[in-house]
Structure 1
Amino acid sequence: MVRTPLTPWERQRGERLGALLRQARGNRSMVEVAARAGLSAETLRKIETGRAPTPAFFTVTALASALGLSLDTLADACVEDLPAADEPMTA
């Protein structure tokens, strides 16, 4: 199965998700948060750095729970100030 390349909008949204998770993690170690969410530290690292910009829904919910974040808040923050997905992005 060939995966469709991500759009710039999807990449930017993934970068925001990673930055928000990193900020919410604060002083806690990556290993601690990943273990609490039932993930590997490498998976969390990839999400935080934007190398995995479209993590699975249950991965995001596990991280949100481990970090005490609301999914609504997290979702809203990831797309705040981004143009709609069907609008052209400017550099």
Structure 2
Amino acid sequence: MVRLPLTGEEVERGQRLGALLRRARADRPMLEVALEAQVSPETLRKIETGRIATPAFPTIAAIAGVLGLSLDAVWAEISHPAGGARPDAPERLSPERLAS
């Protein structure tokens, strides 16, 4: 199976996802979150650092669930660059607002 190179947009979205997960994890140990989400700590680390820019949906769903994040809010947060927000988009979401 040949994997196509990632687009710049996919790489940037992966970086936004990683930053969001790091903020939501806050002071919780990476190992604790990874084990609870049933992913390896290495996978979580790679997602948080943007090295895995397009993780599988079930992986993100599991991590988001452990962190108490709404998948709709996660998508809204990562799908648009900070400087290019949609006119109808709310202000950038804090981890507290993502959980709602």
TM-score range, shorter chain: 0.7 to 0.9
Determine the structure 2 residue equivalent to 1:74: 74
The runs of 5 or more residues in structure 2 that have no matched partner are: 85-100
Partners of 1:51 and 1:77 lie apart in 2 by 19
TM-score in terms of structure 1 length: 0.87
Q: Which residue of 2 aligns with 1:88?
A: none
Aligned to 2:22: 22
- Structure 1, gaps ≥5 residues long: 84-91
TM-fit CA distance, 1:79: 1.5
TM-score (norm 2): 0.80
Corresponding residue number in structure 2 for 1:13: 13
Residues 1-91 of structure 1 correspond to what in structure 2 (within 5 A)? 1-81=1-81
Offset at residue 62 of structure 1 (A):
0.0
Number of aligned residue pairs: 83
Q: Identity over aligned residues, as a percent?
A: 58
Whole-Å separation in 2 of the counterparts to 1:78 and 1:20: 8
| RMSD across aligned positions (CA) | 1.1
Between 1 and 2, higher relative CO (CA 8 Å, sep ≥ 6) is seen in 1
| CA shift for structure 1 position 80 | 2.6
